[in-house]
């Protein structure tokens, strides 16, 4: 059925027989898995919170009044009403209700109502009177009890009478005693009857019948986690709790809250932590379903538990790390369980559902905990599959793609895609913590290794991760990218893709188009200075020529700005600006974050190359104008073919001391054989020039650019790959 939404007000009838307004929202009729049926859902128009979740019961009497009102009663005289803004919306929801109950939408009442006098007589009956005679609670009567409970479910009056009888005679506790007896006697038939009985009692939807026997439940938890418990019994116990949680979804919100709080108090989370790590696949699956109910009920409750647990346990036994490990170790070829667990993790790390009070900030506390105790577990498969050792091993085995070090295994590729999805979510929502983590671990370089994957979906996930980072337009990220030469694997992927018009091509072009449109100057300068020779042949889009135009416009603007400043002021001024830039960076790593708490990871050390070379275009231009002859000596020597030779390589020292797994040599339009200088001298000179260029904030205009342009030959038809 289609999911339709209409604007409504939700009303409930209070004890004084007055209608209370519960809020305004949008109603939909949709199938709810937890309720096992079509249900009415109302979400608040202000914040999207759930105002109403009510299963369309086949036996409930719904009334349509005044063309825009639907009224019905649920358990315990809980009356509800939906007041529609539009008649059309009321008609459509009414049709859905009638369709579920098999009624003609032309009727105004879907079920026969209780006669008023009969209802009054029923309400006047004392609760102590035995409205239904219950069989004796003993093993031999279990089948009779099960038949009785099943038979009353079709009648609202008999359901109410049965609920009163069960409550008045303390019948539930007697049934639990029979359950223990059947367990001890291994009476399978009796256990099946008890299952039908308890299932029927739950369908009565009577809150007072849900008051837990804490001693009984504590014993069940103990058996669930006891190593001596045999596998079959443990499987039955965990399935019992799973069914219990599923049935709780039929309760009204206040009763459901009480139910889960009771489970939490009795130790459901420590029990799940043990059970989720067991070998039995069915047990783990059921435990995951229970965990999902708890996360949906209260992410804060789960977060509070794991933070308290961290003070007493090692990282490898923490509940969240157990969840992460189960996601990583999912044996399903399609990773169905891993996808479910990934969704739960995303809910737990989502700042949008974290609480902030005057005394504490859950967001700050939990994110500090997560990045200290859990992030290394989440990123372990990614770092392992993009390590240098993995690279050497894969190269020994052979590959049809240069430097392809990511796994060819489809299941592993799927897992890495899930991890990248979570990390991308972190980039969007955990600004400070994830930034510190990425820079210290040189994480983006490791992620971009996956651009070489034969699985396009994985390469796209890696590209999406970088796109989210660039989308923040954060200069600290931009400096990290340019200093690390991290556009190179992206451009190589574009060139390897050739002229194929596919999703990878479009995604790469969109990334560079974003940089052009948003006019991110530092990235534009880096791309044009280092990669334009390889990209200028791409003419089916104007993106790269547009970047070159932006680059030249900025260069002209800087020249005009420089010429307007008296020469006597230039050196000191620009030296002060460069120093201020370094001080700002140092302050950022040392300051506390107002929103997310203090720094939790060791700050990144600055590269020494920043102090060895000038940091601003203006300073370079001043030096160039004052000492033109010295500048010419520092320029790269001409190759005999008329082009310049640059080697864009990134040393580990330039990326926070982390070994590079994706470092490549990029040669621009010159072959080593054509150079008049020895290879060793050429390498040293090129490296020196690269280091100088890589740290210039402005844009360098060499004095003989025009002459070089005239000598250049036309672009080759086949795009050169950035790498030797």
pLDDT tens-digit profile of 76-95? 567 888 988 888 888 889 88
Supply the DSSP string of 126-156, one letter for each residue: -TTS-SS-PPP-SGGGHHHHHHHHHHHTT-H
CATH code, 67: 2.30.29.30
How far, in Å, CA of 42 to CA of 240, rounded?
Answer: 30
How far, in Å, CA of 21 to CA of 112, rounded?
Answer: 27
pLDDT at 516: 96
75 within some domain:
yes
DSSP structure class, residue 401: S
Q: Is the pLDDT of residue 434 over 90?
A: yes
How far, in Å, CA of 256 to CA of 250, rounded?
Answer: 8
Q: Residue 39's domain spans which residues?
A: 4-101
Helices 281-297 and 336-348 pack at an angle, to 10 degrees, of 30
Express each pLDDT in 205-258 by its tens digit.
666 666 676 777 787 888 888 888 888 888 888 888 888 888 777 777 777 888
Q: Is the pLDDT of residue 119 over 90?
A: no
- Residue 582 corresponds to which tokens in the numbers above? 């370094």
- What is the pLDDT of the chain when averaged over all its residues? 75
How far, in Å, CA of 376 to CA of 380, rounded?
Answer: 6
Element (H, E) at 191: helix 188-203
65 within some domain:
yes
19 within some domain:
yes
Higher model confidence: residue 212 or residue 264?
264
Q: Is 224 within 8 Å of 271 (Cβ atoms)?
A: yes
Beta partners for residue 20, in sequence order: 12
Higher model confidence: residue 196 or residue 117?
196
17 within some domain:
yes
Mean pLDDT of 366-387: 93
Q: Is the pLDDT of residue 107 over 90?
A: no
Three-state DSSP at 281 gives helix
Q: Is the dihedral of CA 507, 649, 583, 432 positive or negative?
A: positive
451 within some domain:
no
What b-and-e string marks burial along 89-103, b requiring 16 or more CB atoms within 10 Å of the CB?
bbebbbebbbebbeb
23: left (phi over 0), alpha (psi -120 to 50) or beta: left
71 within some domain:
yes
Helices 456-471 and 488-496 pack at an angle, to 10 degrees, of 140
Distances (CA, A) of 459 to 448, 477, 478, 557: 8, 21, 21, 38
Three-state DSSP at 244 gives helix
pLDDT at 722: 53
Report the number of secondary-structure helices (H) and strands (E) in the chain.
Answer: 32, 7
pLDDT at 177: 85
pLDDT at 471: 96
Mean pLDDT of 617-631: 47
Number of Cβ atoms within 10 Å of the Cβ of 689: 18
Least confident span in 196-200, 242-246, 353-357, 379-383: 353-357
Q: Are strands 37-44 and 19-32 parallel, antiparallel or unpaired?
A: antiparallel
pLDDT band at 583 (very low <50, low <70, confident <90, very high): low
Which of 60, 61, 31, 29 is closest to 43 using CA atoms?
29
Q: Is 346 within 8 Å of 425 (Cβ atoms)?
A: yes
Distances (CA, A) of 454 to 449, 473, 493: 12, 30, 11
429 within some domain:
no
Most confident of 126-135, 277-286, 394-403, 514-523: 514-523
Whether the model pTM is above 0.75: no
Query: How many domains are there within the chain?
Result: 1
What backbone phi and psi angles, to 5 degrees, belong to 81?
Answer: -150, 140
Express each pLDDT in 686-706 by its tens digit.
333 333 334 333 333 333 444
Q: Are strands 6-13 and 50-55 parallel, antiparallel or unpaired?
A: unpaired
pLDDT at 266: 86
349 within some domain:
no
Which of 419, 438, 411 is closest to 427 using CA atoms?
438
Mean pLDDT of 640-645: 33
Express each pLDDT in 158-189 by its tens digit.
777 888 888 777 788 888 888 888 888 888 88
Q: Roughly how many angstroms between the first and final C-alpha of the chain, as a whole number?
A: 58
């Amino acid at each position: 059925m289609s999911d339709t939404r209409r604007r409504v007000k939700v009303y409930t009838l209070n004890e004084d027989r007055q209608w209370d307004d519960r809020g305004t929202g949008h109603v939909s009729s949709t199938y709810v898995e937890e309720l096992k049926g079509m249900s009415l859902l109302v979400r608040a128009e202000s914040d999207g919170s759930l105002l109403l979740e009510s299963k369309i019961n086949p036996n409930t009497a719904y009334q349509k009044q005044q063309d825009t009102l639907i009224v019905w009663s649920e358990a315990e005289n809980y009356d509800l009403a939906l007041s529609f803004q539009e008649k059309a919306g009321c008609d459509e929801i009414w049709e859905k209700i009638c369709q579920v109950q098999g009624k003609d939408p032309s009727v105004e009442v879907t079920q026969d109502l209780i006669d008023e006098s009969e209802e009054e007589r029923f309400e006047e009956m004392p609760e102590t009177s035995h409205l239904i005679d219950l069989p004796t609670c003993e093993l031999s009567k279990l089948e009779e009890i099960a038949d009785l409970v099943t038979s009353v479910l079709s009648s609202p009056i008999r359901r109410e009478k049965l609920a009163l009888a069960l409550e008045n005679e303390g019948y539930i506790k007697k049934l639990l005693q029979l359950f223990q007896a059947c367990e001890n006697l291994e009476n399978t038939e009796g256990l099946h009857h008890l299952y039908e009985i308890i299932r029927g009692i739950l369908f009565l939807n009577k809150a007072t019948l849900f008051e837990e026997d804490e001693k009984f439940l504590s014993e069940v938890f103990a058996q669930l986690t006891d190593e001596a418990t045999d596998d079959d019994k443990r499987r039955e116990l965990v399935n019992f709790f799973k069914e219990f949680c599923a049935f709780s979804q039929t309760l009204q919100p206040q009763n459901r809250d009480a139910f889960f709080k009771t489970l939490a108090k009795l130790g459901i989370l420590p029990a799940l932590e043990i059970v989720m790590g067991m070998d039995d696949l069915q047990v783990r699956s059921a435990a995951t379903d229970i965990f999902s109910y708890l996360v949906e009920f209260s992410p804060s409750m789960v977060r509070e538990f794991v933070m308290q647990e961290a003070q007493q346990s090692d990282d490898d036994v923490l509940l969240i790390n157990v969840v992460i490990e189960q996601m990583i170790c999912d044996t399903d070829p399609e990773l169905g369980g891993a996808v479910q667990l990934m969704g739960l993790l995303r809910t737990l790390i989502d700042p949008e559902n974290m609480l902030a009070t005057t005394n504490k900030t859950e967001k700050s506390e939990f994110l500090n905990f997560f990045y200290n105790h859990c992030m290394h577990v989440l990123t372990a498969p990614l770092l392992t599959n993009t390590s240098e050792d993995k690279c050497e091993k894969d190269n020994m085995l052979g590959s049809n793609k240069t430097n392809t070090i990511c796994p060819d295994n489809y299941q592993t590729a799927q897992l890495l895609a899930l991890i990248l999805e979570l990390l991308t979510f972190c980039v969007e929502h955990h600004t400070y913590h994830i930034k510190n983590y990425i820079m210290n671990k040189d994480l983006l370089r490791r992620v971009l290794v996956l651009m070489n994957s034969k699985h396009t979906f994985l390469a796209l996930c890696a590209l999406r991760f970088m796109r989210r980072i660039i989308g923040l337009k954060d200069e600290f990220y931009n400096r990290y990218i340019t200093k690390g030469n991290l556009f190179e694997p992206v451009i190589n992927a574009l060139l390897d893709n050739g002229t194929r018009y596919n999703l990878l091509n479009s995604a790469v072009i969109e990334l560079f188009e974003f940089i052009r449109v948003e006019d991110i100057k530092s990235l534009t300068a880096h791309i044009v200075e280092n990669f334009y020779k390889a990209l200028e042949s791409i003419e089916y889009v104007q993106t790269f020529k547009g970047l070159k135009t932006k680059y030249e416009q900025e260069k002209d603007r800087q020249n005009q700005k420089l010429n307007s400043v008296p020469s006597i002021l230039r050196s000191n001024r620009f030296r002060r600006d460069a120093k201020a830039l370094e001080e700002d960076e140092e302050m950022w790593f040392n300051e506390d974050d107002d929103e997310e708490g203090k720094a939790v990871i060791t700050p990144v050390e600055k590269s020494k190359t920043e102090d060895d070379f000038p940091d601003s275009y203006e300073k370079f231009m001043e030096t160039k104008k004052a000492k033109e002859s010295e500048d010419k000596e520092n320029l790269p020597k001409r190759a005999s073919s008329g082009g310049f030779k640059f080697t864009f390589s990134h040393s580990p020292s330039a990326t926070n001391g982390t070994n590079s797994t994706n470092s490549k040599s990029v040669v621009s339009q010159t072959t080593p054989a054509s150079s008049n200088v020895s290879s060793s001298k050429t390498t040293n000179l090129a490296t020196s020039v690269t280091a100088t260029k890589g740290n210039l904030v402005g844009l360098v205009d060499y004095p003989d650019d025009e002459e070089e342009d005239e000598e250049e030959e036309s672009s080759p038809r086949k795009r050169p790959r950035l790498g030797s």
